[in-house]
Chains A and B, each alone.
Chain A
Amino acid sequence: MTDSIVTTKGLSFAYGDIVALSDVTLEVPQGTVGLVGANGAGKTTLIKLLLGILPSADGSIDVLGHSVNTDRLAVRSQVGFMPEGDCMPKDQSAADFIGYAAELAGLPTRAARQRASDVLTLVGLHEERFRRMVEFSTGMMQRAKMAQALVHDPTLVLLDEPTAGLDPEGREDMLDLIERLHGFGISVLVSSHVLTDIERTCDWVVMLDGGKVLRSEPISALSQTGVVELELFEDPAPVGDALQRAGAEVRIDGTRLLVQVAAGDPFSLIQDALVSSGAGVRRLGARSTSLEDIFLREGSETGEGSK
Chain B
Amino acid sequence: MTDRGQVFDLGYKPYEGERLGRSGAVPAIYRDGLRRVLGFRRRARSKIVPWSLIALALFPAIIFVTLSVFLADFGADADLEFFTAPQYFELLSVVTILFIALAASELLVPDRIYGTLSVYASRPLNMWDYIAARAASLATVIVGFLLVPQVLLLVGQGAVANEGFFSYVGDHSDDLWKSALTALVYLIAYAPLAFLIASLAQKPSFATGIYAGVMFVGSGATSGLVDSGNDIFALAALDHHPRYLRDAIFDSNIQAWIPERAGFDEWVSLVVIVVVAAISLLFIARRYRVLL
Minimum-distance CB pairs A-B, first 5 = A81-B122, A103-B28, A153-B15, A77-B124, A86-B115
Are A122 and B15 neighbours in the complex by a CB distance under 8 Å?
no
Interface string of B2-20 (1 = CB under 8 A from A): 0000000011111101111
Number of A-B contacts (CB under 8 A): 114
B125 → A minimal CB distance (Å): 7
- B-facing mask of A168-193, CB < 8 A → 1, else 0? 00000000000010011100000000
Query: Nearest-CB distance from B8 to chain A (Å)?
Result: 11
Check A104/B110 contact, CB under 8 A, given A72-B126, A153-B14, A153-B15.
no
Query: How far, in angstroms, from A72 to B41 measured CA to CA in the complex?
Result: 32
- Residue from B23, B116, B121 within 8 A of A51 (CB atoms): B121
| Cβ-defined partner of B17 (8 Å) among A81, A92, A111 | A111
Question: B25–A106 contact, CB under 8 A?
Answer: yes
**A132 and B43 contact, Cβ closer than 8 Å, known pairs A103-B28, A104-B28:** yes
CA distance A109 to B23 in the complex (A): 12
B residues near A, CB below 8 A? 10-15, 17-25, 28-29, 32, 41-43, 46, 110-111, 114-116, 118-126, 292
Q: Give Cα A172 to B130, complex, Å.
A: 36
Q: Shortest Cβ distance from B40 into chain A, in angstroms?
A: 10
Chain B residue nearest in CB terms to A133:
B114
With A and B bound together, what is the CA distance between A282 and B218 in angstroms? 87
The A81-127 residues at the B interface (CB cut-off 8 A) are 81, 83, 85-93, 96, 100-101, 103-109, 111, 115, 118, 121-122
> What is the bound-complex CA distance between A100 and B32, given in angstroms?
8
Q: Which residues on A are within 8 Å of B, measured CB to CB? A: 51-53, 72-74, 76-77, 79-81, 83, 85-93, 96, 100-101, 103-109, 111, 115, 118, 121-122, 132, 148-149, 152-153, 158, 180, 183-185
Given contacts A91-B110, A132-B43, contact A85 B115 (CB under 8 A): yes
User: Are A103 and B25 in contact (CB-based, < 8 A)?
Assistant: yes
Knowing A88-B114, A104-B29, the reply to whether A111 touches B12 (Cβ < 8 A) is no
Across the interface, which residues of A come within 8 angstroms of B21, CB to CB? 77, 106
Instruction: State whether A88 and B116 are in contact (beta carbons under 8 Å apart), knowing that A106-B25, A107-B15 are contacts in the complex.
Output: yes
Chain A residue contacts of B46, Cβ below 8 A? 91
